[in-house]
Structure 1
Amino acid sequence: MIETVIFDMDGILVDSEPFWRKAKVNAVAKFGGNITEQHAYQSTGLRIDEIANYWIRYCDLDPACSQDLADAILDEVIGQIKTQGQLLPGVKESLESLAQADLKIGLASSSPLRLIEAVMDTFDLRKYFSVYVSAEHQTYGKPHPQVYLYAAEQLKTEPHHCLAIEDSVNGLIAAKAARMTAICVPEPGQETNPRFGIADIKLASLAEFSTSEEVQKILGA
């Protein structure tokens, strides 16, 4: 029985993945590298320090720039969310339906806490979440399950009683490795990626969440 639903944030709650891709391209260029937005998909779902180090290795940049590169990416993403960000379709409706069903709601994100709190405040989402945790200070980020296991512990729920909602392959691997039921909502352009086949359910968007018979069956509705 599902007792708790744990959301990823980027690409699930807020349409931030395009901001991440642009920020990676722009920040890497500032430090002498050259990547495209298509390349930027390769680090989707990773922690900010891992993203910086990934592109440092890829572009053979000076490892000493790791923190500055991470800060440049994060600053641009936060700025874009505050000025142009939008909640994705179905987010408020899904959160409202889960709250009415008396299910616990959490968030487990690879993004730094600074970005999580910016999203919570910008879109007035704090009231829905009992717990929100970042992999920022965990030993391992996604695709390791640590952040999901920590969120479940904070929510006082056994992992196999949790439903995770993810948009990235790395996040989906993390959720399944934590022994959680998992829904994937692939970012546009990634729907045909066969690696999403490990999800229990695949939705086109959260707008389908409250009407999907498969989802309602899992939730025991």
Structure 2
Amino acid sequence: MVIQSYIHPITALPGPAHEQPMPMFPAPDAPIRAVVFDLDGLMVNTEDVYQLVGTELMRRRGKTFDDDLRGAMMGQPAHAALAVAIEWHALTDTLEDLAAESEATFWELVEDKLTTMPGLHELLAAIDELGLRKAIATSGARHYAEELLKRVDLHEHFEFLMTAGDITHGKPHPEIYQKAADKLGLPTAETLVLEDSQNGCKAGVAAGAYTVAVPSSHSADHDFSGAKFVANTLADPRIREVLAG
């Protein structure tokens, strides 16, 4: 019989008597040696921007961009996500035309809307202090991901960037996290995957990584049942507890 070990984080500051401690979570099966980040919605608030893009594109066509459609598109490579929208509303646009319009609208909005997610910089500093490695695995295209990282001055903070062009199967298939671990030269069990979407979490879990969900407001209702735990933000102390071993 295997007995699962658990970590019970210690709260940073004592609170009122009615406050409950954070729930226990399973300890990693192996020491964590690297952290692999998703990008959209996890490191940067692009899901906020895409909400505006989707709303505008559908408005131009007399359609709605509701939560169901947004959820179906989330976590998919760009063209796959747009194909969902075309089928959802039976649009007459070609995939190429809608992709071009979507990209142009996105970069117009990014100028004023893009920002990093709460706790990101502090977590990156903590990872560096522990001497752990960092990589990114995103469903986005390489040119897109590189441009986003440059705009938030994070393009030199990671060992490598794994993108849609490096894989055959998108999330929730585990390929991207398996390849990231291979490139790190580590078993997937020694990697911590941070994801904000259901599809991303499924990919991390299927790859065998220690997977933590960090949902944004756009993915709070996703099914994260496979994740080791659901963090409040990237500043959640449980993430650092796992990294520190």
**Which whole-Å deviations, capped at 9, do the CAs of 1:54-87 have from their partners, x for residues lacking one?**
111111123x610221222233223323332111
Letter in 2 for 1:22: L
Q: 1:82–1:118: 8 Å Cα contact kept in structure 2?
A: no
1:29 Cα deviation after fit: 4.6
1:131 Cα deviation after fit: 0.7
In structure 1, how many angstroms separate the alpha carbons of the residues matched to 2:46 and 2:218?
15
**Residue of structure 1 equivalent to 2:24:** none
**Residue of structure 2 equivalent to 1:169:** 198
In structure 2, how many angstroms separate the alpha carbons of the residues matched to 1:18 and 1:136?
24
Consecutive unaligned residues in structure 1, runs of 5 or more: none
CA RMSD of aligned residues (A): 1.9
Report whether the alignment pairs 1:218 with 2:208: no
**Residue of structure 2 equivalent to 1:23:** 53
**Residue of structure 1 equivalent to 2:71:** 41
Q: 2:178–2:188: 8 Å Cα contact kept in structure 1?
A: yes
Q: 2:71–2:219: 8 Å Cα contact kept in structure 1?
A: no
1:37 Cα deviation after fit: 3.8
Larger Rg: 2
Aligned counterparts, 1:56-205, within 5 A: 56-62=86-92, 65-188=94-217, 190-193=219-222, 195-205=223-233
In structure 1, how many angstroms separate the alpha carbons of the residues matched to 2:119 and 2:41?
12
Residues 33 and 56 of structure 1: CA distance in aligned 2, closer, same or farther (over 3 Å): farther
Report whether the alignment pairs 1:14 with 2:38: no
Letter in 2 for 1:197: S
Please state whether the residue corresponding to 1:207 is helix, strand or coil: coil
In structure 2, how many angstroms separate the alpha carbons of the residues matched to 1:146 and 1:78?
29
In structure 2, how many angstroms separate the alpha carbons of the residues matched to 1:44 and 1:4?
25
Comparing 92-101 and 73-82, the one that deviates more? 73-82
1:28 Cα deviation after fit: 4.1
Q: TM-score, normalised by structure 2?
A: 0.80
**Which whole-Å deviations, capped at 9, do the CAs of 1:142-181 have from their partners, x for residues lacking one?**
1111222222222222211111000010111111111111
Identical positions, percent: 25
Please state whether the residue corresponding to 1:106 is helix, strand or coil: strand
Q: What number of residue pairs does the alignment pair up?
A: 214
Residues 80 and 154 of structure 1: CA distance in aligned 2, closer, same or farther (over 3 Å): farther
**Which whole-Å deviations, capped at 9, do the CAs of 1:72-114 have from their partners, x for residues lacking one?**
2233223323332111111011111111211110000111222
